[in-house]
Structure 1
Amino acid sequence: MGQLTRRGVLAGLLAGAAGAAWAEAPLVSLRPRPRGAVTPDAAAAALVKAAKLGGRLGYIVADAATGRVLEAVEETVELPPASVTKVMTALFALEKLGAGHRFATRVMYRGSFAQGRLEGDLILAGGGDPELDTDALAELVAALAAAGLREVTGQFLVYTGALPERERIASDQPDYVGYNPSVSGMMLNFNRVNFGWKQAGAGYDMAMTAEGARVAPPVRMATMTLAERDLPVFAYKAAAAADHWSVARGALGKAGGRWLPVRHPGIYAGEVFAWLAAAQGIALGPPQLRRDLPAGAVVLVQREGAPLPELLRRMLKFSTNLTAEAVGLAASAATSQEASGAAMTAWARARFGVSGRFGDHSGLGPMTRLSAAEMVSVLIQARQDPTGVQLLGLLREAGVPDATGKPQSKAAMRVQAKSGTMNFVSNLAGYVTAANGKTLVFAIFAADVARREAVPVAQRDQPKGNKAWVGRAHRLQGQLLHRWAGLYL
């Protein structure tokens, strides 16, 4: 295959739909290593020993053109892939949904609409767009006003049934971490609310807002109170249609802000929409949630999200868990996260021959397992098909690290890869390409699962020792990449 430029790949993506599924056996697959032929030398073993990671480490590097394994250590051990899972999710979504897919958010009505007056119900119909934010919602409301709407006599309905509902992506994370929000067909600001505070005399001015770049509507369904305690810093109490938070007074300092997860996304989006509508002179009642779309509803205005490749490129770059879950659920059309993970597992086994399993689409939960060898096999096969080639244009690029593992700017050799990091889990998988086009495929999976599971859930945001452990793992990844580039490219 000729060398592809990033611009050329992305241009092709945006111009057409995804390629057909892998209809034939791959031309190249991972070739089993001859016994003893690719055992790492003493230098590689010294790098691993110096990292002092504990747990298990599995890695493998292979020639992308031939599938020949060049070096491997415990490459068949299945470990938590963390956010490397998002590579599989991207391939799954591209094949099932197509590159032209866009998530659409619509404003609909049922009844009669004439001369600015709606005799009936207004419906905010979520389409599962994970990137919908306050500014985009404001654009929808402005379009609604431009369409002439001035009065609504009926109910304000919020349709949330485009995707299965889930209170949080993973059950084994602290309540307050913003990367573990709820999932719904109606989502806003990655289902997070902004908590801001500023010291005022002996107390604090505190606000919960749906902060956007141009407007920051106040939020009433999420509340915050001060608590006289040391720990936990944040505590959550659920209500039927509200999120109640408290924060330790001593943890706040003079001023700051933090995004907190939303557990009632339909109510949240509906409240913000109604506030924006009121600013345009359109009064709406309290949002009423619907899992089914009312029969006979007519589209008044709509907003389409980014084309799927753009969405996936940002998902891979910023490792957004909610985007991964949304596109995975849409691709599987399953009725639950568990069923959707099982659908992607069956697809990966049929398509790529892997034996691992996926409990979700982001890699955040505890059920997903994959080996480094399986990941490399997928990467080798993927680059031989149009759908997989699209992945090359979406992965984040960097230069090959130096001898100390420190990142370098892109030069003659470049790395296109996805990382995956959780507490005492650090992974990296992707491609290393030389100026002459020769490419290596690699995966490095490291995890101390016992140490991870020993951390109480309430402390899993920043557990003791994790930062140093992950730092050593990142250094080892860089050192191995430097070594392989020097030996095999």
Structure 2
Amino acid sequence: MSTDHSVLNRRNLLAGLAASVALPAFARAPARSPFPHANPRLVAAPVDISALPIRRPAGGLSEFLARANLSGETGVVALDAETGEVIEEHRGNLLLPPASTAKAVTAMYAVQALGLEYRFVTRVLIGRGQIEDGTLRGDLVLKGGGDPVLQTADLAALADALIAQGLRRVEGRFLVDGTALPTITHIDRTQPVEAGYNPSLSGINLNFNRVHFGWDVQGGRASVMMDARSNREVPEVSVIDMQAVSRNLPVYTHDFSGARERWTVAGSALRRAGSRWLPVRRPQAYAGDVLRVLLQARGCRLPEAEVTRSAQGGAVIAEHRSPPLTTILRGMLRYSTNLTAECVGLAASTSGGQQLRALAPSARMMNQWAARAHGARGVDFLDHSGLGAGSRISTQAMAQFMLSARREGILPDLLREHPMRDAQGQQIRNHPVEVLAKTGTINFVSALTGYAQPRGGRPIVFSIISADLSRRRAPGETSLEQPAGTRAWTRRARVLQQDLIERWTQLQG
């Protein structure tokens, strides 16, 4: 575990803030929206890029790779986006980790299975009984629909709707049903315990399944608080505990073998006030606890939430509809939210009625679809986010997928603009090359895939992956959020990516 606590705190706080940036757009979604459209049949005619001739450029690609001074391996493929002709290729068949570029595949997999206008629905039902004089003499059920972007503000709106209908007391049980998706406690078990980008997931997810941990320091003593804050309310969480203990390392420990999730934090790490988002491992209990606190604050009494797998259907008395899938996917690709990728991937895999209990079988279904529908053979993902250390893809397979997906006209509209930068890392305004791409970064892996459009030139499809797997697997490194040397290595990889894009646009010119 790293002893640089300020780096650990700052990195995850920024991750939490990135998620909150997307919140207002999600929170203002209309309460009622059109029903999802029928699933489109998106089957492109694959183009086998391996059968096309390679146009050898003048000048040495090897010089670019040597100048980058990157340890490990690098695979690159650049294609003419209109003809599929190979502009340049280096070790295109080498299998490397995709990191978050896997989310580009996941986005299209979700679109073809669910439809562009699909919305996840979270409902509150009366499991049995009825409301009489403000009292529900029966069960209240919070039923998730797998929504990956559900926020505390959305639960607050549900609480307001229940109060508006006169609910003031629940005499039966308060049940939480998250069976719409399988409950999975970790995306990747090899990640550090405190990594907020590696939460659990289930059929009900709240705040990207992260809890806000804040601390204040006065007179040398730290007071801690766990809450599920939104931009308007800060409900305290009672099912997740935090205790500051006298030690230096490890910075965090976590246990959820008992009735509650229990965190401890090293007191030496709480030198001054701060905050960060920590992963939640029991998302159904977390969401139920927050809705209960919100209802109590509005004058409604109800028992503690119980997680159930057998809630009976009943009358829907309030519901929240997510933004359409296209909005969710744009947010996923922009902020690279792992939970969103896993939820939409699982929702796509289970949309035909399949029963799944883990990410790997769902990822295999996506791998098979990528080969069948887009000709991307050899994709070997273990999840939908790219976080898992064992996922692999070649740059040739990724470029093939991106080429095929471009012809459908959907993926380019979902990708964010990738800024071109100068030698000091500053964005270059009005750069002659417009790039729409998905980045991917994990320790000692840097990937970029997308589309480059030179001003007045021919469009390019590209895939670049650099990885130093030996450094990634070094003893002790997997327990660190940012091992020594990661930042400098990643910086060099990104410079190489831009150099290659500029090189290819010149070759195309």
Q: With structure 2 as the length reference, what TM-score do the two structures score?
A: 0.88
Q: Work out which of the residue numbers 256, 272, 285 in structure 2 matches 1:254.
A: 272
Match for 1:371 among 389, 394, 397? 394
Task: Please report how far the alpha carbon of residue 247 of structure 1 lies from its aligned counterpart in structure 2 after TM superposition.
Answer: 1.2
Q: Displacement, 1:19? A: 7.2
Residues 159-238 of structure 1 aligned to structure 2 (within 5 Å): 159-238=177-256
- Check whether the contact 1:51–1:473 (CA below 8 A) recurs between aligned residues: yes
- Which of the numbers 342, 357, 363 marks the counterpart of 1:341? 363
* Counterpart position of 2:13: none
8 Å CA contact retained: 1:81, 1:427: yes
- What secondary structure, in the 3-state scheme, does the structure 2 residue paired with 1:302 have? strand
Equivalent residue for 1:4? none
Q: Could you say if the C-alpha distance between residues 379 and 405 of structure 1 is closer, same or farther in structure 2, counting changes exceeding 3 Å?
A: farther
User: Could you report, residue by residue, the CA deviation over 1:46-90 in whole angstroms, capped at 9, with x for unpaired residues?
Assistant: 221122222110001110000010111101111100100000000
Work out the CA distance in 2 between the residues paired with 1:226 and 1:417: 42
Match of 1:323 in 2: 340
Query: Is 2:118 aligned against 1:101?
Result: yes
Amino acid at match of 1:128: G
Q: Is the contact made by 2:39 and 2:113 (CA closer than 8 Å) also made in structure 1? A: no
Q: Once superposed, what is the RMSD of the aligned Cα atoms? A: 2.0
Residue type at the aligned position of 2:113? K
What pairs up with 1:69-148 in 2 under 5 angstroms? 69-109=86-126, 110-148=128-166
Residue 289 of structure 1 pairs with residue 311 of structure 2: no
Following the alignment from structure 1 to structure 2, what is the Cα–Cα distance between the partners of residues 197 and 232? 18
CA offset at residue 231 of structure 1?
1.6
Partner AA of 2:480 in structure 1: R
State the alpha-carbon separation in 2 of the partners of residues 457 and 162 from structure 1.
36
Q: In 2, Cα distance between the equivalents of 1:115 and 1:15?
A: 34
- The whole-number CA distance in structure 1 between the counterparts of 2:480 and 2:240 is 23
* Cα distance in 2 for residues equivalent to 1:311 and 1:483: 34
- Shift of the 82–412 alpha-carbon distance from structure 1 to 2, 3 Å rule, reads same
Return closer, same or farther for 1:404/1:258 CA change in 2, 3 Å cut-off: closer
Change (3 A) 1:428 1:272: same
Where does structure 2 lack aligned partners over 5 or more consecutive residues?
1-33
- Measured in 1, the distance between the counterparts of 2:40 and 2:50 equals 25
Deviation for aligned residue 1:20: 3.3
SS of equivalent residue, structure 1 residue 169: coil
The answer to whether the 8 Å contact 2:75/2:91 transfers is yes
Equivalent position amino acid for 1:94 in 2: V
Match of 1:48 among 42, 62, 65: 65
Q: Secondary structure at the match of 1:431?
A: strand
Q: Distance in 2 between matches of 1:351 and 1:394?
A: 19
Give 1:284 shift: 1.1
Deviation at 1:292, TM superposition (A): 3.0
Judge conservation of contact 1:86–1:363 (CA < 8 Å) in 2. yes
- Cα distance in 2 for partners of 1:220, 1:371 equals 46
Match of 2:374 among 348, 352, 368: 352
C-alpha displacement of 1:228: 2.1
Q: How far off its partner does 1:403 sit?
A: 7.2
Matches within 5 A, 1:301-450: 301-333=318-350, 334-335=355-356, 336-353=358-375, 354-385=377-408, 389-402=409-422, 407-436=427-456, 438-450=458-470
Contact 1:398 1:407 in 2 (8 A): no
SS at match of 2:307: strand
Distance 2:430 2:310 in 1: 50
User: Relative to 1, partners in 2 of residues 1:140 and 1:181: Cα closer, same or farther, differing over 3 Å?
Assistant: same
CA distance in 2 between counterparts of 1:156 and 1:66 reads 59
Q: Which residue of 2 aligns with 1:66?
A: 83
In structure 1, the residue matched to 2:4 is none
Q: Unaligned stretches of 5+ in structure 1?
A: 1-13
User: For residues 231 and 39 of structure 1, what CA distance do their matches in structure 2 show?
Assistant: 53
Amino acid at match of 1:364: L
TM-score relative to the length of structure 1: 0.91
1:452 to 450, 472, 484: 472
- 1:296-329 Cα offsets, whole Å, 9 max, x none, are 4111100001100000000000000000000000
- Pair 259,273 (structure 1): closer, same or farther in 2 beyond 3 Å: same
Mapping for residues 14-25 of structure 1, pairs under 5 Å: 17=37, 20-23=40-43, 25=45
Mapped partners of 1:191, 1:31: distance in 2: 42
Does the aligned pair in 2 maintain the 1:197–1:207 contact within 8 Å? yes
Q: Report whether the alignment pairs 1:467 with 2:467.
A: no
Structure 2 residue matching 1:223: 3-state secondary structure: strand
Deviates more, 1:403-412 or 1:264-273: 403-412
Of all paired residues, the percent bearing the same amino acid is 42
Deviations 1:233-264 (Å, cap 9, x if unpaired)?
11112233322111111222211001000111
2:49 is matched with: 30
CA-to-aligned-CA distance 1:405-449 (integer Å, 9 cap, x gap): 764235442100000000000000000013347210000011111
Contact 1:40 1:72 (C-alpha < 8 Å) held by counterparts: no
For 1:92 and 1:373, the matched residues in 2 are separated by 19
Asked whether the 8 Å contact 2:472–2:478 carries over to 1, the reply is: no
For residue 166 of structure 1, report the CA deviation from its aligned partner. Answer: 0.6
Q: Distance in 2 between matches of 1:57 and 1:226?
A: 44
